[in-house]
Structure 1
Amino acid sequence: YLDAHAHLRDDAGHRQVVRNGSLPQRTILTGIGPVEVQQPRVRDRRRADQRQKFTSAILPPYLRKTKSIEELIPWLYLKGVSTGDFSEALAALLGPDAKGLSANTITRLKAVWQQEYEAWSKRSLVGRHYVYVWADGVHFNIRLEEDRQCILVLMGATADGHKELIALSDGFRESEQSWKALLLDCHARGMTTAPALAVGDGALGFWKALRQVFPTTREQRCWVHKTANVLDKLPKAQQPKAKAMLHDIWQAESRAAAERAFDLFVATYQAKYAKAVDCLIKDREELLVFYDFPALHWAHVRTTNPIESTFATVRLRTTKTKGSGSRSACLTMVFKLMESASKKWRLLNGSPLLAKVIAGVQFADGVEQTNAA
């Protein structure tokens, strides 16, 4: 800073911007522990209307913790360190002299996170085009309430193949009204283009709501949920074989092969285990819709795994801390954990093919169909 202003001199040739001692020493908490620093002070001798105030970009005023420490605090909390254990955990990492980091820090952070969630949930979705969406309702324990909380989750894949969290809301998993409110809110905020395909569990109230808000969106039932539901209606001794037969359906290379595997499952279990078969066949068409989309996308659209894999981390954190204390705290926690997880989300396989899906190009057994001349 002094060198940049070295050319400024008075009539006698004296420099106008000079060093003027140092500011009082202060302690900065860094990733290697507390560090004592002393910042130089600058004096500007020019007229009042010409003077500039020096502010260090490296050492801003009131800085007490480096960026790495600011990021460490929420990371520790979100990864499962309870509020009461914070001081001990930080002392172990940074030494006994770690100051200004306590349970109160987390209390303040949670208030900030709540504001961030509220702002995020009201953000504009104008211009956002989600080609595929995944929906699910995930339950959590709330320490201070008897009933478990269900958080409705909607994720989407953009036209360039990036996965995004679209919406999070408190609601009821099987409630059409809860899902309709979520979808209408997204629509009102600018999500007006209907997704090409939606993926979710058949038990969700999401489907009735989807048909009202985005009637042209096609429906794909999640094979992970369906497999679990079918196996639940079979004796344990039958489950390994049945699971392999179900796997043969959704892993088939063509719809025709999947249909044959489907018929074989029905023929094998219809007589003795009608409930299991009925559970499967009621969604027969919706279970095989993925064959009408690019084969490179099948791994993404046959299940709600984009949501399930992310929530494995969320559940781990809430299990360690025996659940959040309130419904709003749980919702905020889930938002921050998914925000953190989203940094590691990968592009969809075959992302360039999304443009063809948007354009309405037809696919059969995952292969683009071209009209004969």
Structure 2
Amino acid sequence: MLSAVNADGSTPNGARTDEIVREGARRMLWPPRSRPRSTHMAELAGQWDGDGRRLVVRNGYHQPRQVTTVGGTVEVKAPRVNDKRVDEVTGERKRFSSAILPAWCRKSPKVSEGLPLLCLQGLSSVDFVPVLEQFLGSSAGLSPATVTRLTQQWQALNKIIGDVDELPAFYDFPAEHWIHLRPSNPIESTSATVRFRTKITKVAKVAGSPAAALAMVFKLVESAQARWRAVNTPHLVALVRAGTRFERGHLVERAEAVTA
């Protein structure tokens, strides 16, 4: 992380402001960070093993680690507990986990929430590290992969919103056919069968022309469909092809819509 210095190498007075803030945050975190351990041990103080020793005792602190907050990167140490109790279901030793500083925590939730917002402002994921390390430090745990992971839920939401008209389209077909219409990619399932066979038989080279290759592909599909599962209620296919109206999977015999 870069720092501003004077021409003679001294540090401006204002440059220590961030350091003071981070040190204050670190000191304020110290009592709350140890409080869950004290509470946890107080609740289990009456549990002893067969030799008269406590099953749950203090075990110092974990190695220091950097936690990125909106005020910068702070070095903290999480408390450790030596818990000799065994889970009756899994047979594994129970573990103490601090609610304030979990083992996986490297960034505060506010930092994680803010990263996707920068994407909306046009900041490329590859630019996050050089830009934000000036504010949060070079060891803040920021990377293009981190930003991509944090924006995945937005990408999923955009997929749903973008295809809002297509997603419920199967309601306009017979309910008996929904099981055939709702695979993630039914067209790709058919194409995979043809692609595998054309690669083995080298249809493009053997056919000699696009028209002949298309005819051979059609025959491959015909051959493959012998092992396909038949459509449920096949007599309804003729109604669908004739343009018969279905609502919520039910046949509409009159002009009025079928009520729920």
TM-score, normalised relative to structure 2: 0.42
Larger RCO of the pair (alpha carbons < 8 Å, separation 6+): 1
TM-score, normalised relative to structure 1: 0.31
User: Greater helix percent: which structure?
Assistant: 2
User: Greater strand percent: which structure?
Assistant: 1
